[in-house]
């Protein structure tokens, strides 16, 4: 018999997501970051990179409502979420969307992990390089950038690239991010 997989197998955040109606356990990572840093505020223009299946988008939608704008992109399809303008498009093609300046750029993107350290680092860094070019082009001065990376070389790469672009740079490991995972988030505050 084929085993059915679901977003909701496993730990406490999977159960919570099911109970609270979030499409992914990842929603709680953003909820926890939001609680600590009051990252997103009504009226913000938000660009979300790598949004499917939509847990973060649901969180953002509840905050922004119809007060600002939410543009979300992913290579995969995503079911509709109120107030979210979703585009199924690869990050590298984002220029085709003709975006306005944003007050926040958020990314939960990571490459598929091969298990070969140097390949995974190279893949992560090339994604981050594209994200940084998006930040350069579409994030307004004073804006914020939250992105995922992995401890080690990609964190160093990011730290090096963000230190001259933002007034403050913080590393975050929300409780909902599994402790065995090398994943962490970096927040750039006040783009220079
Ligand atoms: C961890 S998931 C995001 C989960 C989301 N934050 C949530 O709460 O539901 C990462 C997403 O990044 C997307 N992604 C990976 N590479 C991408 C690329 N080059 N362009 C656009 N999206 C990409 C994947 O398709 C995947 O849906």
pLDDT digits (tens, 9 = 90+) for 51-100: 999 999 999 999 999 999 999 999 999 999 999 999 999 999 999 998 99
What mean pLDDT do residues 32-45 have? 97
Which listed residue (148, 167, 173, 191) is catalytic?
A: 148
Confidence bin at 180 (pLDDT 50/70/90): confident
Cα 51 to averaged position of ligand 1 atoms, centre (Å): 5
Residues with CB under 6 A from ligand 1: 23-24, 26-27, 50-56, 73-76, 90-91, 108-109
Minimum-distance ligand 1 atom for the alpha carbon of 55: 8
- pLDDT over 60 (residue 6): no
CATH topology of domain 26-191: Rossmann fold (3.40.50)
Burial class (CB in 10 A: 0-12, 13-18, 19+), 33: buried
Q: What is the pTM of this model?
A: 0.93
| 43 Cβ contact list (under 8 Å, min separation 6) | 64, 67, 68
Q: How many residues does the chain have?
A: 192
Tell me if residue 19 is catalytic.
no
Minimum-distance ligand 1 atom for the alpha carbon of 53: 9
Probe ligand 1: pick from 25, 31, 52, max atoms within 8 Å of CB?
52
DSSP element (H, E) containing 122: helix 117-138
Does residue 48 contact residue 62 with C-beta atoms inside 8 Å? no
């Amino acid at each position: 018999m084929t085993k059915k997989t679901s977003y909701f197998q496993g730990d406490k955040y999977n159960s919570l997501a099911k109970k609270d109606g979030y499409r992914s356990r990842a929603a709680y990572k953003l909820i926890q970051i939001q609680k600590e840093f009051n990252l997103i505020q009504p009226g913000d223009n938000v660009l979300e990179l790598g949004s499917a299946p939509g847990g973060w988008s649901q969180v953002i939608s509840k905050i922004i409502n119809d007060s600002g704008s939410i543009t979300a992109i992913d290579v995969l399809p995503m079911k509709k979420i109120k107030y979210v303008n979703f585009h199924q498009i690869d990050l590298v093609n984002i220029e085709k969307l003709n975006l306005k300046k944003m007050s926040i750029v958020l990314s939960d993107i990571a490459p598929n992990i091969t298990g070969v350290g140097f390949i995974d680092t190279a893949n992560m860094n090339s994604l981050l390089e594209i994200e940084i070019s998006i930040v350069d082009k579409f994030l307004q001065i004073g804006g914020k950038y939250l992105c995922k990376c992995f401890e080690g070389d990609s964190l160093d790469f990011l730290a090096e690239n963000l230190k001259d672009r933002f007034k403050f740079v913080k590393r975050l490991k929300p409780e909902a991010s599994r402790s065995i995972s090398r994943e962490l988030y970096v927040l750039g505050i006040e783009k220079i």
